[in-house]
Amino acid sequence: MTFITGLDHVLLEAPAGGEPAARAFYGAFLGLTEVPKPPVLQVRGGVWFALPDGRQLHLGVAPDFAPRLKGHPALRSADLAAFVAHCAAHGVPTRPDQEGGVPRVFLHDPFGNRLEVVQG
């Protein structure tokens, strides 16, 4: 029997006070919609975003924050070339990679967390 039915959300950490930078990057730059956190969790800080497939990406405040340099979420883009051009136009560096045969790029959020974006 399989008890796990899918992925609900991914949590990345951010430093205290990073909500404006998170909203600018994940909301304005990546185009994700912010979703309200439950009131009981709002006091912890952080910000949540909806992904187009119904899953969510959460940014949580970590008092001892250190960016994730290896572990990362892999997001999908229907047009990776257009995404790379968007990044370049906004001064966000990307590193292309095709290891494993899947076109993808790596980049970092404003806090130094590693992100992967794959063609898909």
For the residues 47-71, what does the mean pLDDT come to?
Answer: 96
For the residues 13-22, what does the mean pLDDT come to?
Answer: 97
Give the amino acid at 64.
Answer: D
- Tell me the average pLDDT of the chain: 96
- The answer to whether position 4 is within a domain reads no
- The answer to whether position 1 is within a domain reads no
Structural domain total, the chain: 1
For the residues 24-51, what does the mean pLDDT come to?
Answer: 97
Q: What is the pTM of this model?
A: 0.94
Tell me the C-alpha distance between 11 and 59, whole Å.
Answer: 6
State the pLDDT confidence band at 99, using cuts at 50, 70 and 90: confident
Which domain range does residue 31 map to?
Answer: 9-119
C-alpha to C-alpha distances, 54 to 23, 46, 57, 110, nearest whole angstrom: 19, 19, 10, 24
Following DSSP, what letter does each residue of 90-105 receive, concatenated? TT---EEE-GGG--EE
